[in-house]
Structure 1
């Protein structure tokens, strides 16, 4: 167990990542608003001047609009605070290159191809990594029905270690979809892997 407040240490830096998901009135489109903020607990000297304790060094927003099939139909980014004002936000329309991608099919690989290195902002691009699973969580009970039906396997099954089809959780809560346990000597590499391709 991790001790949340072990003795003999002090907080130096905080990175806060937050994702909020909004449904459009028509229920067909959804906005994923992801923010990142870096702060320090003391004054910090940058090439562009000092930042006081608690003043954001980075503060960024990435918004992807998706449909109910996880397709990206719009994308935009905004930099509110950065170490090099006037330069850090000079990525233009780079994030519009995400339009047309699907969050569950090759998304992370496509992001690396389109926004690597000097093509975009490192920190805004980092936010893309949390969006596929955030979208799934937002859709649960709204777009995706966790219980599905006798004919359709629930969306969440076989997408993580806890809900692998040969595991005890599926046997207990979703017996209709349970498979016989894997052989005892199977290596972790042969275990069921997540089905969506976000990497």
Structure 2
């Protein structure tokens, strides 16, 4: 599918970078470090001070420790650069409230309830939304069985089946690479 062609005279004004790194620990737990950085291509005045072009307007890190069942054991956040020092970073240990949540079971709604609005930092709270799929990617093939004929093949399909458009059980990818779990789409009965 084609995307709109970029205008040749467009000018970059703002860049948001999101980086998520997931680390395996020797104790069987996993650490997740998610970072959000916003920069401008021009000088901006924030809280009466000039922030130079390219210097971060926002630079925030969220750190989690998770187990192999996607449970968050500990969590915390730190704000390194912000528009309003002493205010933007005054959320205390709000992100410790992520502990006890499961990344795959009602996570996004629970984050909204625990940290939505003024309960947390908008940017860090938004950053949480990319964590479930990032951790799934880290776990794929190590924690999660993603191979045809893997350990769970006797009764369970590989983890990713029916979790995205390309890997739907009635689709071509599953037919070709995971034939055991292929389920052709059922034809609708003809109307009389």
TM-score (norm 2): 0.91
SS in 1 for 2:131: helix
- Between the aligned partners of 1:45 and 1:4, the Cα distance in structure 2 is 33
Q: How does 1:85-164 map to 2 (within 5 A)?
A: 85-147=85-147, 148=150, 149-151=152-154, 152-164=156-168
Distance 1:63 1:48 in 2: 31
Q: How much does 1:48 deviate? A: 3.3
Question: In the TM superposition, what are the counterparts of 1:163-174 in structure 2 within 5 Å?
Answer: 163-174=167-178
Residue 194 (structure 1) aligns with: none
Q: Distance in 1 between matches of 2:22 and 2:48?
A: 34
1:63 aligns with 2:28: no
Counterparts of residues 6-85 of structure 1 (less than 5 Å): 6-26=7-27, 28-85=28-85
- Give a deviation string over 1:121-179, Cα, whole Å, max 9, x none: 00001111000000000001211121134312100110001001111111111110011
What is the CA–CA distance in structure 1 between the aligned matches of 2:141 and 2:127, rounded to whole Å? 24
The answer to whether the Cα contact below 8 Å between 1:48 and 1:83 also exists between their aligned partners in 2 is: no
Equivalent position SS for 1:57: strand
Runs of 4+ deviating beyond 2 Å: 1-6, 182-185
Match of 1:181 among 178, 185, 192: 185
Equivalent residue pairs, number: 184
> Structure 1 residue 183: deviation in Å?
3.7
Structure with the larger RCO, 1 or 2 (CA within 8 Å, 6+ apart): 1
Distance in 2 (alpha carbons) for counterparts of 1:178 and 1:40: 48
* Contact persistence 1:65–1:74 (CA under 8 A): yes
- Could you tell me how far 1:5 is from its partner in structure 2? 5.2
- TM-score, normalization: structure 1? 0.88
User: How far does residue 25 in structure 1 lie from its aligned partner after superposition?
Assistant: 1.3
* Unmatched 5+ stretches in structure 1: 186-199
Query: Alpha-carbon deviation of 1:47?
Result: 2.8
Between stretches 30-39 and 142-151, larger displacement belongs to 142-151
Q: CA deviation at 1:6?
A: 3.7
